[in-house]
Structure 1
Amino acid sequence: MFSRMFLFFLYFLFLLSPPGLSLSLTQDGLFLLQARSCLSDPNNSLSSWNAAASTPCRWRGVTCDHHSAAVTALDLSFSFLSGPFPAALCRLPSLSSLNLSYNLINSTLSTVSLCRFLLYLDLSQNALVGPIDSLATLTSLRYLDLSGNNLTGEIPESLAALPHLETLNLVSNLFTGTIPASLGNLTLLKRLQLAYNPFKPGPIPRELGNLGNLETLYLALCNLEGPIPDTFSNLVNLISLDLSQNSITGHIPQWFTRFTRVTQIELYNNSLSGKLPRGMSKMTSLKLFDASRNELTGTIPTELCELPLESLNLNENKLEGILPGAIARSPNLSELKLFSNRLIGTLPSDLGSNSPLNQIDVSFNRFSGEIPANICRRGQLEQLILIYNSFSGEIPESLGKCKSLTRVRLRNNNLSGSVPEGVWSLPRLHLLELLENYFSGHISKGISGSSSLSNLLLSNNRFSGSIPQEIGLLDSLVEFAASNNNLSGQIPGSMVKMKQLVNLDLSCNQLSSDLKFGGIGYLNKVTDLNLSHNRLDGNVPSELGRFLVLNSLDLSWNNFSGEIPLQLQNLRLSELNLSYNKLSGDIPPLYANAKYKTSFIGNPGLCSHLPGLSNCYGRNKNWRYMWILWSIFVLAGVVFVMGVAWFYFRYRKVKKLKKGFYTSSWKSFHKLRFSGFEVTKLLNEANVIGRGASGKVYKVVLSNGEVVAVKKLSGVPAKVDENVGSRKDEFDAEVETLGRIRHKNIVRLWCCCNSGDHKLLVFEYMPNGSLADLLQGSKKSLLDWPTRYKIVVDAAEGLCYLHHDCVPPIVHRDVKSNNILVDDEFVAKVADFGVAKMVARAGQGTESMSIIAGSYGYIAPEYAYTMRVNEKSDIYSFGVVILELVTGRPPIDPEYSENDLVKWVSSALEHEGLDHVIDPTLDSKHREEISKVLSVGLHCTSSISITRPTMRKVVKMLREVTTVPKCTSVNDGNDPSYHEDSSHCITED
């Protein structure tokens, strides 16, 4: 009876089915369709999964048995699928291989345990959560890759019950506890990869030495301590060993030389000591050896250099002796980094002759002799870094033919002679650093050929002749330093074309003629200008007053004459030196104070009340005094009467105002054209333009027409306690750091006030307000996609500077769209960095535990259990800002229910697709760019902090979205990694 009813039911379904639907689809096909129904497929990756087919064997990602047509393998990697793991896949009886890597599978692994016949399982780079205990039932597994997820808990001992396992990859998850010793029972294991997990500090399990078949061991950044176990001597089949970024101590064992199959050894960033092992000649397969940043001593073994190495990194140790000549005979050597050791002797004369050298850095050693003539013989050398050694002789002519060079750093050596003509015109060169040598000859006119040059550093040499006009063609040049040479002639007028120039230092030369380069005002990014100790004459150009970001101006020891132009008062200079010239007349009022008392000495014609200068009144001073006295007496009566009346009505208000500021201590970081007292008078409720957790923000219009923003910090204890002095010192130290920041994408701090009851920060005013105001307010129509893209790149560069170019690095702690301000030209600047920390310190005490680092909707998930913030916290918050820009939505909204914008975007992408996520007010022609920027935002908001990119990487990814100029770091060059990455940020004011 039942069978008849079932057949009738099937017949009924057939009658109702559409004409194109086949009822002959195999059972495996039906299971796959059921699995598809559980997943979101915004990219239509599974469009070929057609229910009308008779078999799924031609569907995308499906592999079938040739005879039975049963599904045996499924590969849907990189398909942008999202949703829970589809349990229907485990009903495929012949399925032995499953690859769902690089998707957005976001469930636990409980249902995966039903796939008991799997041999191969790859679920890497998804959003899986929870523990992995349930996988112990997959006893047939040979390959298991769960890397790049959010899996938690301890690695279970039960994994040892997978006797056939050959690959175990759990990299980049959130596993805690320790590495279980029972993994040593997986004797068939060939690849064990557990790196980048927050394990509890502990030793490397000795039992791992039982894995005699192991070929890959990847335990980087696992909180490992103690020595390398001697049982590892049994791992003779190792091909790749990575124990980097731990706290491993002891020596590199002698038995390492038994690893005759190993191609890669990574031991960097540990605390290893002692000498490198001898007998390494047996390791004939070794290609990459990195033991940098340890405490290694002794010499570099010749046997190591005789190996066919591709990369040798021994930098930042305490190695001594010479570099064995055998290293030059390596046919594969591409990278050689030995900087910051105590090495002596010469570089092998044939270094580079037999090797495709790409990077060499032997800085901060005691090398001597000449630069090898054939170091770029293979034409692949990009970075030549030899700074702080004792190299002598000339630069080889062959380097002038090395078109691949991007960075040449030779500072602080004993090199001499002329720079080869070809070196001046290398087409890919970004940095040419020749400081502190004995180079002579001219700066070549061929320098215009180095069109990518951003830093030209020639100071403290013996260069002579004139600066060629062709230097003005270097429109990417950020820094030009040629001080302490014998340069003569005029400063080329063509230099006005160098619109990216930030730092110009031509001091201590013999440059002459008057300073007249037409259009000088176009150099509007210059922050430091030093032309001192030359023979320049004529008037000080009034056009210098257009250098609005100029921070330091030194024209001392020249022959300038005439009066000091009043236009210099437009500048906010922290350093000014016009001493030892032939200037005359009055000193501009802004500079006639004690701060600049040494800025004008040695100018007999100048007059002022400053020490060392003559009095401006001369012979007529008595008459002028009398005239002044009469004026005073005439006005005194009027002023006295009016003053008494005014004082009567204002006394109480002024007294109250002064009471709060009688202990005020004002600190300025730029030259100001207003007083602190004027600022405080205007702090009233009518001028409040913003309120936040850190305090109120006032818009203050000063008497000179200038507008500033004043933040009055809250959280200041009302009652003075025994720690108030130390807290005041902490505040002053924090603000001192903030005040020194100079970058085009960071809001400038003019000055601050720290009193017993008040803490004020005075910033430049940003007319367009915050990004949050623009996105959610009436001006949203102004934010087309190109403007939004510009804003996000600007903000990224500001944060990049804080994270990577400040010493020490600065963590913002409260990145949000409210703290990204926009000026009248829609240049975005980061604001309030460090303020959250100051408020927390100001309010610390019994309530300090209630102070949250960050703002709701922007706080990184790990903060909930670590209560710590770092650069990765900022990056998560910045990712939320990116999502705001793309979606036009706020970070928190009732529509999200209990979720936030990050989870809303993930859910919307899963169920509705990309078009539902993008702000509908944006032009669809930018869809591709918007999608790429959204991808960066999703990358930044990864729930696993270690998988988030650095801000340097974020800037690079954002700039790769469209064709825009690259940004380059500028610092003093003392670090061997100076300009290491082309994505460094430009440090400008």
Structure 2
Amino acid sequence: MHISLSLSLLYMGNLQNFLILLFLSLTLSLPLCLSLNQEGLYLQRVKQSLSDPTGSLSTWSDRDATPCNWTGITCDNSPSSSVVSVNLTTASLSGPFPSFLCRLRSLSSISLSNNSINMLPATISTCQNLTLLDLSQNLLVGPIPPTLSDLPNLRYLNLDGNNFSGDIPASLGNFQQLETLILSENLLSGTVSAVLGNITSLKWLQLAYNPFAPSRLAPELGNLTNLEYLWLAGCNLVGEIPESFAKLSSLTNLDVSINQLTGSIPNLIFQLKNVVQIELYQNSFTGTLPAGWSNLTALRRFDASTNKLTGTIPDDLCELPLESLNLQENQLVGLVPESIAKSPNLQEFKLFNNQLTGSLPSQLGVNSPLQILDVSENMFSGEIPENLCAKWALVELVMIDNLFSGNIPVGLGKCRSLSRVRLRSNRLFGEVPAEFWGLPHVYLLDLFNNSFSGNISHMISGARNLSILMISKNKFSGSIPDEIGLLGSLIEFSANENEFSGEIPGPLVQLSQLGKLDLSNNELSEGIPVGIQSLNHLNELNLANNRLSGEIPDDIGRLPGLNYLDLSGNYFSGKIPLGLQNLKLSKLNLSSNRLSGKIPPLYAQEVYRNSFVGNPGLCDDLAGLCPPQVRDRNQGYVWILGLIFAVTGTVLIVGVVWFVWKYWNIKESREGIILSKWRSFHKLGFSEFEIFDCLNEENVIGSGASGKVYKVVLNNVIGSGASGKVYKVVLSNGEVVAVKKLWERSNKDDTSFESADSAKDEFKVEVETLGKIRHKNIVRLWCCCNSGNCKLLVYEYMPNGSLGDLLHSKGALLDWPTRFRIVLDAAEGLSYLHHDCVPPIVHRDVKSNNILLDGEFAARIADFGVAKFVEAVKRGEEFMSGIAGSCGYIAPEYAYTLRVNEKSDIYSFGVVILELVTGRRPIDPEFGEKDLAKWVCITLDQKGVDHVLDPNLDSSFKEQICRVLDIGVLCVGPLPINRPSMRRVVKLLQEAGADNKPKIGKKDGKLSPYYSDEGSAI
């Protein structure tokens, strides 16, 4: 028993000791498992100071011992695992710069680019160990903190793409180790400061695209002997390049483009032996290109376009291994030396828009893999060199507007790499080589305005990629071959002013993509081919001045997109088809034929009179075409009968007037509307009385800031908004119209943002704008009523509603071909407003909800309530009273300018393109603080194109979708000057729809078209 008790006590003693030891162990180890170290606590404060809508900082947990495994955090290998780098690029963070980062004593690198950081405090100088600071593409405003230079170890400073303003601080000249300074694309308004010349350690200096005050290039910048990259584009520089720049011996890139620099190009550039790229375009340089180019052995690109250079191209320039030479839009005069042909690596040779003379070197292309040759708009003469495609690499051959003569070389007919050929407006003659017609990759063949003769070869059937064929104003003869009908990608066929004869080939009606067919001024005979209604994309049909006969087929009235119809100067007979009234034509010409009968009611008005002259059999009193009546012996009786009818008519008219007066009084008491205020813009087939009877809440189809829109089917509101409701009305004749009824406002009751005056102005703008426009892609305004507080606008009805509603509710129903047609239609409508209206019109509210779709999904631009006439704006007669447009579509320059500009519409249209490609709304919670445009650009850079494309789209169209996406990105560029014109956008879309190669290239990492609007023709 004693033994058992002793064992028990021993056991109990050991258990007690064990428990004590276990407690001490847990107590000592608890801080190691559960406590976050001090640097982690600082980073938690950073997290608390920033808005993080996408959860980018969700891994920053206080349950960790250290922050070394957190997103964006890098630690060193020391025992303390100190934080050395914070990289939160594109994390959708917003708020002021988190100063708690500067408490991390070992921190050497901070990258917060592509966020929404909005303030950089002077306390940034406390980050004493920083070597890299990247705050590019944020929302930083105000002056650049002068205390930045207090960071003694800083080597890399990037503040690109913010809104910094004022001068470059003089204190930045105190940097001792800084190697990269990037301040481009801000709002700096001082000068390119000479103090930067003190930072002798600099290797990379970017100040481009700031609105600096006009200033000279500071000679002190020549002290930067370590400088490798100098980018001063768009800095408002004046004067000459200083001689001190000869000391920049390490320079590889010199870019002073888009300034107002003057004088001659200095010889000092030949001392820059390491230079790879020299950009001098869009300045005012004069004189000749200097000699001495053989010293620049590393040069690959030289661009002196858009200057005032004269003289010849130096011979030693041709000894360089050039990849691209671009001298467009200068005033160069002289010859291209024969030695240019000896350049072994010459790939791109562009001299368009100069005054160069003489012939091209005969050996051009023999020794070099020439890919692009563009010598347009010069005064070159002689023959096209025979060996341009000797290396089988030539892709683009552009020689527009010169004095070239002779034949097309036979060798070019074997150049299967060619994709773009433009020889228009020269003096070329002879037959085109048969193989040349059938080159398989050519998408654009332009032989316009030469003296070519002979036939179109049957070998054209091999040109399956051809989308634009322009051979007008030549001497081609014979029949048009049936093989044309095999070119399924053909969008435009212009062959007017030739000597073609025979029938219009029947297979032409198989070209389902054809948008323009111009065969006017030839000797074609017979009739219009059967089945023409299958050309459902046809926009322009011109068969004037041929020998065509027979009846005009009624099927022409079934071409939904036809906008231009000219059949004049032929031998057409019979009646004018009533089906033509289904078309929305901006031009109709049936004159000088043998037509007879009555003119269709829609066209029986004075405005169309010239469309029918020269048809003796036509008679219509409204058009004034009836032949005069011959006075006969019974004319006296006729006069008496006329008098009787006149008296009877007078009595009838008085009765009708009395009845209408009574009816109006009733309507005024019931509706409070005076119908006499109606104004028509087209011949109407319905009575205005019908409209009012249908304006009930059952007919609303939409509404906006100014009123409701009605579909007047005699029964339903199909939309409403801040401006009013839209009603759908089906009239007694079966026609369907949409009626927009603006909200009734009174000054004393109006407490909204828009006053009664603004509603009146919106009504006036919409009426004045749409009342004058005639275009297939602009919604048609039938008539309007303005009576006191009641304002009505009657439009053509669009059964498929708006693009925005359809895309974001039933996007899966819109396949890519339909979306592409919609974007091309909308682009053509906007192009018409910007370039073809007099004066031009800026829409100012381009968005997917203002693009309406008819029954065939053809697009119309609508809602012109805030549109402006450009000329009035340029004269200073109109300024924006507030931000026009809709959230997500507003161009970034609205933040600092109040002037109306077409480039704003182009930005908004770019957002519409991105909507169609991505299927996403312009504003989405997923984007955080960003909009669609910024989200697309960032996602493309970081994840690639597959992460932005709408998954509902057929992947077989991916190549074309990507080309359209590139055009959209180009349109939403942050700088208005870099956005293409709408006319250019239309051309790019047309080429994207036809070409297998994108027409968007990259320059300096940014998307840009190969040619400017004012450069070589597209």
Structure 2 residue aligned with 1:983: none
For residue 706 of structure 1, the aligned residue among 702, 710, 735 is 735
Task: Render the CA deviation track for 1:520-543: whole Å, top value 9, x for unaligned.
Answer: 112122222111222222222121
Aligned-residue offset at 1:455 = 1.0
- Give the SS at the match of 1:470: helix
Between stretches 145-154 and 797-806, larger displacement belongs to 797-806
- Give the SS at the match of 2:244: helix
Structure 2, gaps ≥5 residues long? 1-22, 708-722, 748-760, 1001-1010
Structure 2 residue aligned with 1:867: 898
- Aligned residue type for 1:183: L
Whole-angstrom distance in 2 between the partners of 1:850 and 1:552: 39
Between stretches 483-492 and 596-605, larger displacement belongs to 596-605
Aligned-residue offset at 1:266 = 0.8
For residue 814 of structure 1, the aligned residue among 845, 851, 854 is 845
- Give the SS at the match of 1:646: helix
Is the 2:313–2:337 contact (alpha carbons within 8 Å) kept by the matching residues of 1? yes
Whole-angstrom distance in 1 between the partners of 2:90 and 2:882: 42
What aligned pairs does 1:778-857 form with structure 2 within 5 A after superposition? 781-784=809-812, 786=814, 794=822, 798=826, 802=830, 806-807=834-835, 811-816=842-847, 818-824=849-855, 828-833=859-864, 835-837=866-868, 850-855=881-886
Number of aligned residues: 933
- Aligned residue type for 1:116: Q
Whole-angstrom distance in 1 between the partners of 2:190 and 2:404: 51
What aligned pairs does 1:442-453 form with structure 2 within 5 A after superposition? 442-453=455-466
Is the 2:847–2:909 contact (alpha carbons within 8 Å) kept by the matching residues of 1? yes
Task: Render the CA deviation track for 1:789-831: whole Å, top value 9, x for unaligned.
Answer: 9769945873586369943775432234553334455555432
- Aligned residue type for 1:233: A
Structure 2 residue aligned with 1:14: 29
Whole-angstrom distance in 2 between the partners of 1:716 and 1:407: 58
Is the 1:49–1:56 contact (alpha carbons within 8 Å) kept by the matching residues of 2? no
Larger Rg: 2
Is the 2:73–2:83 contact (alpha carbons within 8 Å) kept by the matching residues of 1? no
- Aligned residue type for 1:832: D
What aligned pairs does 1:604-623 form with structure 2 within 5 A after superposition? 604-608=616-620, 614=627
- Give the SS at the match of 1:739: coil
Aligned-residue offset at 1:245 = 1.2
Q: Give yes or no for the alignment of 1:549 onto 2:578.
A: no
- Give the SS at the match of 1:326: helix
For residue 192 of structure 1, the aligned residue among 191, 201, 205 is 205
- Aligned residue type for 2:563: N
Aligned-residue offset at 1:367 = 0.9
Is the 2:305–2:329 contact (alpha carbons within 8 Å) kept by the matching residues of 1? yes
For residue 466 of structure 1, the aligned residue among 464, 476, 479 is 479
Task: Render the CA deviation track for 1:248-299: whole Å, top value 9, x for unaligned.
Answer: 2333223333323222111111222233223333333222111111222232
Is the 1:444–1:468 contact (alpha carbons within 8 Å) kept by the matching residues of 2? yes
Which structure has the higher relative contact order (CA within 8 Å, separation 6+)? 1
Aligned-residue offset at 1:426 = 2.2
Whole-angstrom distance in 2 between the partners of 1:903 and 1:221: 27
Is the 1:787–1:826 contact (alpha carbons within 8 Å) kept by the matching residues of 2? no
Whole-angstrom distance in 2 between the partners of 1:877 and 1:430: 29
Aligned-residue offset at 1:349 = 0.9
Is the 2:678–2:786 contact (alpha carbons within 8 Å) kept by the matching residues of 1? yes
For residue 534 of structure 2, the aligned residue among 513, 522, 530 is 522
Distance 1:651 1:794, change over 3 A: closer
For residue 739 of structure 1, the aligned residue among 773, 781, 804 is 773
Whole-angstrom distance in 2 between the partners of 1:794 and 1:265: 42
Task: Render the CA deviation track for 1:62-91: whole Å, top value 9, x for unaligned.
Answer: 4856x8796696484766464566666555
Distance 1:509 1:283, change over 3 A: same
Distance 1:92 1:486, change over 3 A: same
Structure 2 residue aligned with 1:563: 575
- Aligned residue type for 1:802: L
- Give the SS at the match of 1:344: strand
- Give the SS at the match of 1:807: helix
Whole-angstrom distance in 1 between the partners of 2:347 and 2:118: 42
Q: Give yes or no for the alignment of 1:314 onto 2:346.
A: no
Q: Give yes or no for the alignment of 1:457 onto 2:470.
A: yes
What aligned pairs does 1:862-901 form with structure 2 within 5 A after superposition? 862-871=893-902, 873-874=904-905, 877=908
- Aligned residue type for 2:278: I
What aligned pairs does 1:16-55 form with structure 2 within 5 A after superposition? none
Q: Give yes or no for the alignment of 1:418 onto 2:401.
A: no
- Give the SS at the match of 2:464: coil
Whole-angstrom distance in 2 between the partners of 1:393 and 1:522: 40
Whole-angstrom distance in 1 between the partners of 2:832 and 2:968: 22
Whole-angstrom distance in 2 between the partners of 1:412 and 1:768: 44
Structure 2 residue aligned with 1:987: none
Whole-angstrom distance in 1 between the partners of 2:397 and 2:768: 38
- Aligned residue type for 1:764: E
Aligned-residue offset at 1:678 = 8.4
Is the 1:120–1:143 contact (alpha carbons within 8 Å) kept by the matching residues of 2? yes
Percent of pairs identical after alignment?
47
Is the 1:811–1:834 contact (alpha carbons within 8 Å) kept by the matching residues of 2? no
Aligned-residue offset at 1:557 = 2.9
Between stretches 793-802 and 366-375, larger displacement belongs to 793-802
Whole-angstrom distance in 1 between the partners of 2:430 and 2:215: 56
Whole-angstrom distance in 2 between the partners of 1:598 and 1:963: 37
Whole-angstrom distance in 2 between the partners of 1:680 and 1:861: 42
Q: Give yes or no for the alignment of 1:272 onto 2:282.
A: no
Whole-angstrom distance in 1 between the partners of 2:832 and 2:328: 21
Structure 2 residue aligned with 1:404: 417
Distance 1:620 1:79, change over 3 A: farther
What aligned pairs does 1:292-441 form with structure 2 within 5 A after superposition? 292-441=305-454
- Aligned residue type for 1:515: I
Distance 1:155 1:774, change over 3 A: same
Distance 1:781 1:819, change over 3 A: closer
Structure 2 residue aligned with 1:724: none
For residue 498 of structure 1, the aligned residue among 511, 514, 519 is 511
- Give the SS at the match of 2:867: helix
Aligned-residue offset at 1:786 = 4.8
Structure 1 residue aligned with 2:552: 540
Aligned-residue offset at 1:211 = 1.8
Whole-angstrom distance in 1 between the partners of 2:395 and 2:995: 23
Task: Render the CA deviation track for 1:900-959: whole Å, top value 9, x for unaligned.
Answer: 8859999xx99xxx9xxx99x999999xx9x99999999799995569976889999999
Distance 1:420 1:934, change over 3 A: closer
- Give the SS at the match of 1:866: coil
What aligned pairs does 1:59-70 form with structure 2 within 5 A after superposition? 62=74, 64=76
The TM-score normalised by the length of structure 1 is: 0.77
Whole-angstrom distance in 2 between the partners of 1:575 and 1:798: 20
Aligned-residue offset at 1:308 = 2.2
Aligned-residue offset at 1:197 = 2.0
For residue 489 of structure 1, the aligned residue among 485, 499, 502 is 502
- Aligned residue type for 1:870: N
Distance 1:890 1:64, change over 3 A: closer
Whole-angstrom distance in 1 between the partners of 2:991 and 2:813: 16
- Give the SS at the match of 1:443: coil
Aligned-residue offset at 1:457 = 0.6
- Give the SS at the match of 1:147: coil
Q: Give yes or no for the alignment of 1:203 onto 2:216.
A: yes
